[in-house]
Amino acid sequence: MPKIKIRYQQVKDAKRFFEILNNPNFIYLEIKVKSLAEEKEWLAKNLDRRKNNYEWNYTILYGGKVVGAIGFKINQFRKYIGEIGYFIDEKYWGKGIASQAVKLIEKEGFKKLGLKRMEILMRPENKSSEKVAIKNGYKKEGLLKKCLKDKAGKLRDAWIYAKTLT
């Protein structure tokens, strides 16, 4: 299996992200992108998000191809906590790409930014994301009631997994 790489997201990733995000099989992903222009606009604001230490977003490359994205949001009240989110093109599901990407993003969060805690939230039925968390040494801390919105805007429960620096 080729190793993956991550790099800061670029506006040129918009077309590929738009294709991936509009896959109807992404039933656990809360992101709704209405148009390619909207995706480009969102990506263009990533530099400001990094400068303000709000979000750090990366493109996942597998064999040189854009296959998804990963990033983390900084808790604005507890700036030592980052919440990880990611998505992978369906054609690449089950290849360990998300697990590798989480390892890489942890280095960014823990080592580069000095975070003390990283969290991954997922809907209870999303067994693949749960496997990614467990594989990377995250511990299940509990069920958060009605904390994630689905694409229809309905509030859903989520498991919270976390990893802390000791």
Rounded-to-integer distance, Cα 145 and Cα 5, Å: 34
Longest Cα–Cα distance of the chain, Å, equals 43
What's the total number of domains in the chain? 1
Q: What is the CATH number of the domain that holds 74?
A: 3.40.630.30
List, for residues 65-116, the tens digit of each pLDDT value.
999 999 999 999 999 999 999 999 999 999 999 999 999 999 999 999 999 9
Asked which of 16-25, 43-52, 100-109, 154-163 is least confident by mean pLDDT, the reply is 16-25
- Report yes or no on 126 lying in a domain: no
Q: Give the neighbor-by-neighbor strand order of the sheet with 117-122.
A: 4-8, 55-62, 65-74, 81-88, 117-122, 155-164, 139-149
- Report yes or no on 157 lying in a domain: no
List, for residues 2-27, the tens digit of each pLDDT value.
689 999 999 999 999 999 988 887 77
- Report yes or no on 98 lying in a domain: yes
- Report yes or no on 80 lying in a domain: yes
- Report yes or no on 8 lying in a domain: yes
Three-class DSSP category at 69: strand
- Tell whether pTM > 0.75: yes
Give the structural domain span for 24.
Answer: 4-117
pLDDT at residue 62 above 80?
Answer: yes
pLDDT at residue 163 above 90?
Answer: yes
- Report yes or no on 15 lying in a domain: yes
